[in-house]
Amino acid sequence: MFLEKDLSGKRQRGYIEVICGSMFSGKTEELIRRLNRARIAKQRVEIFKPVIDTRYSANDVVSHDENTIRCTPVDTASNILLLTGDVDVIGIDEAQFFDLALVEVCEKLANMGIRVIVAGLDMDYRGKPFGPMPQLMAIAEFVTKVHAICMHCGSLAQFSHRLQDDEKLVMLGEKKEYEPLCRECFNLSQK
């Protein structure tokens, strides 16, 4: 395993951070915040997102609060390895839309001494674990679960309730298509 040295001459250690939660919980906002702090610290940063996420911009990661950071859209997780240059930090948004190869990609990057920050939905609209997120949370050194506010009762929300009658697993959307709900309100909505 090759580990680069940081400015102090110490070996740089890679690790994986996962930011997860429901829609409208601030996952992308937190990802952008961490990546901007890395840039302020003069670290070399690259950001990736799935090519299918074109809701706000094709070439930017954009939070619901309209904060943005430039990124490279990719169609598969393995392309992240091919497009990664000489970096200290890799950011990956909307990780739930990637194939399961993302887990191996993140491990390889971390083993190369890179800090990997991944953000994504931990559950789909049915309340089931989503894509590679459960495996990423299991291997990550740090996991941050963020919460939205339930649109029905005002409690902390951890579920993304789909407002449309569409059973496709992947359906891009925003406030017209989804709302955050707490466990009790989500369970009531499923009846």
Exposure of 78 by Cβ count < 10 A (0-12 exposed, 13-18 middle, 19+ buried)?
A: middle
Q: What is the CATH number of the domain that holds 138?
A: 3.40.50.300
**pLDDT tens per residue, the chain (191 residues)?**
334 455 555 557 899 999 999 999 999 999 999 999 999 999 999 999 998 876 666 666 666 566 666 788 999 999 999 999 899 999 999 999 999 999 999 999 999 999 999 999 999 999 999 999 999 999 999 999 999 999 999 999 999 998 877 676 665 555 678 899 999 999 999 87
| Alpha-carbon gap, residue 120 to 4, rounded angstroms | 28
Range of the domain at 66: 15-147
Query: Which are the catalytic amino acids?
Result: 94
Residue 80 belongs to some domain of the structure: yes
Does a structural domain hold residue 125?
A: yes
Total tally of structural domains belonging to the chain: 1
Distances (CA, A) of 23 to 15, 29, 63, 144: 25, 12, 11, 14
Residue 189 forms part of a structural domain: no
Output the pTM of the full model: 0.86
